[in-house]
Amino acid sequence: MKILVCIAQAPDTTSKIAFTDNNTKFNEQGVTYIINPYDEWYALVRALELKETGVATEVHLITAGNPGAEAVMRKALALGGDQAFRINIESSDTYLIAEQIAAFAKDKGYDLILAGKESIDYNNASVGATIAGALDYNFIGFATALNVEGGAVTVKREIEGGEETSTAALPLVVSCQKGMAEARIPNMRGIMAARTKPLNVIEPAAVSALTEIVAYDLPPAKTGVKLFTIDQMDELVEALHNEAKVI
C-alpha cells in the first residue's frame, strides 16, 4: 500500500505576525516556519506507523509552496518519509492547493492519502475533502483513529456526544486530528538520511484559484482587566451594561 501525506508549512505560534503592502501581504521577515502540527503529529506519524507494521510499503510527502518549504520537508523526511515532492506554486486558495495535489496523485497509485484536519494559520479544513472530490476517492474527515485490514479501512472520529466508527474501501482520503498518533522527534539517523534524499520539484497543473485574499487585519489589542469583588455586584452590572455593553 502506498500512502501520500499532505504537508503544509505554518508560522510557529511564537512568531510575531505582521503585514505589509497596505495589509495585503503576510510579512515573512523573522518568521519561523514549522510543519503544520496536524499534518506532522497525526497524519505523517500514523502513516509511518502503518509502514512500520508492514501495512504500507511507501510513505510519500507532498507540499505546495515556494523553495522556502524545503526546511519543513527535510524534517518530514527525517521523521521517516521515503520521498518528498514540492509543487512549485504559492497560494492561500485551498481549492487550488487541493487540485494541484490531486493532479499530482492522479496517476501515482496511492491507496491512502492523509492530511491534517486543517492548517493552524488559515483553519479552512477543506483540503482533504477537495482532494477526495477531485480524485473521486472516498473521504472521512476529522479522524482520531485509523486501522487497515485487508482492503478496508476502519476510522473513528468524534461526533457530538460520542464517537463514530466507519469503514471504507481504498482508495481513501482521511483528514486527521488529535488521537490519531503520538508526536515524534526525528532521530540523528533520520536527520542524516534526510540530507541526501532528493526533494522533487513539480511544476503546477493548469488550475485557477477561486479565492483571493484582499486584506489582513490584526485582532484588536487586548485591553486591561477590571476586577470586582463579590460585594461589588452593582458596579459589575453597571460596567457590563455601560462599558462592555453586553447586557
The per-residue pLDDT for range 61-75, each reduced to its tens digit, is: 999 999 999 999 999
Nearest Cα neighbor of 208 from 63, 103, 113, 123 is 103
Hunting for cell 533520520 — which residue is that? Answer: 190
**Per-residue pLDDT tens digits for 151-201:** 889 999 999 899 999 999 999 999 999 999 998 888 888 999 898 898 999
For the beta sheet containing 172-176, the strands, ordered from the edge strand earlier in sequence to the opposite edge, are 162-169, 152-159, 138-149, 172-176, 112-116, 2-6, 58-64, 83-87, 199-202
Q: For strands 162-169 and 152-159, give the pairing.
A: antiparallel
Give dist(CA 198, CA 195) in Å, integer: 8
Domain boundaries, the chain: 2-217
* SS3 assignment, position 177: coil
The pLDDT confidence band at residue 238, using thresholds 50, 70 and 90, is very high
**What is the grid cell recorded at 134?**
477531485
Confidence of residue 26 (pLDDT cuts 50, 70, 90): confident
> Within 10 A of 193 (CB to CB), how many other CB atoms are there?
14
pTM strictly above 0.85: yes
**Band of pLDDT at residue 25, cut at 50, 70 and 90:** confident
Query: Which spans in 82-126 are helix H?
Result: 94-105
Instruction: Give the percent of the chain with pLDDT over 90.
Output: 72
Do β-strands 83-87 and 58-64 pair in parallel, antiparallel, or remain unpaired? parallel
Quick one: cell of 173? 482520503
**Residue 143 and residue 151: Cα distance in Å, rounded?**
18
Give the architecture (CATH level 2) of 2-217.
3-Layer(aba) Sandwich (3.40)
Torsion of Cα atoms, 96 then 148 then 53 then 85, to 10°: -10
Predicted local distance difference test score (pLDDT) of residue 176 = 97
For residues 91 and 94, what is the distance between their CA atoms, to the nearest angstrom?
A: 8
C-alpha cell at 190: 533520520
Q: Is the dihedral of CA 45, 127, 36, 219 positive or negative?
A: negative
Residue 17 pLDDT: 85
DSSP category for residue 47: H
Q: Percent of the chain, pLDDT > 70?
A: 100
